């Protein structure tokens, strides 16, 4: 065995191994967080492009479910909406499900049976809400 390994007491080797594993775990967690933030940034950019270049339409809320996710404790509720999107000259009628962060002040605007404004990408049929949610 090398001099380096025999120079340290047994407990120090275990402490060193624990510190090394903790550093690896922290690195993996940082990497995963970076990937998650990058994916969220791309989703936001994609939805912004739909809001800018999409075809204006309306959608009727057929179901609204609380996902039990919150942004900022009670600042925004993340609600899953089932939408029946009306047909336009450029897009067919669609049924889509969206997760939408809603301010408690706007919860009533997205209840079942309500009509909301949306934008539809004519090429991909992706939709984005076109009215305030926060």
Token code pair at residue 125? 């049929």
What is the domain partition of the chain in residue ranges? 3-42, 55-129
Average pLDDT over residues 80-86: 94
Backbone angles phi, psi at 96, to 5 degrees: -135, 155
* 30-70 tens-digit pLDDT: 999 999 999 989 988 998 999 999 999 999 999 999 998 88
> How far is residue 66's CA from residue 131's CA, in Å, rounded to a whole number?
19
Q: Are 54 and 128 in contact (CB under 8 A)?
A: yes
> How far is residue 65's CA from residue 78's CA, in Å, rounded to a whole number?
9
Q: Where are the beta strands (DSSP E) in the chain?
A: 55-71, 76-85, 94-102, 115-120, 127-129
Whether this model's pTM surpasses 0.75 = no
* Secondary structure (3-state) at 46: helix
Which of the four pLDDT bands, split at 50, 70 and 90, describes residue 5? low
User: Which pLDDT belongs to residue 59?
Assistant: 95
């Amino acid at each position: 065995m090398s001099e380096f390994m025999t120079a340290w007491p047994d407990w120090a080797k275990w402490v060193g191994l624990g510190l090394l594993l903790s550093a690896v775990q922290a690195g993996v967690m940082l990497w995963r967080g970076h990937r998650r933030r990058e994916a969220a940034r791309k989703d936001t950019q994609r939805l912004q492009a739909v809001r800018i270049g999409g075809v204006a339409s309306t959608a009727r809320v057929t179901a609204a479910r609380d996902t039990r996710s919150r942004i900022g404790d009670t600042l925004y509720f993340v609600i899953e909406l089932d939408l029946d999107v009306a047909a336009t000259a450029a897009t067919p009628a669609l049924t889509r499900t969206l997760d939408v962060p809603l301010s408690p002040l706007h919860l009533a605007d997205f209840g079942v049976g309500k009509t909301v404004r949306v934008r539809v990408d004519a090429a991909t049929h992706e939709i984005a809400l076109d009215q305030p949610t926060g």
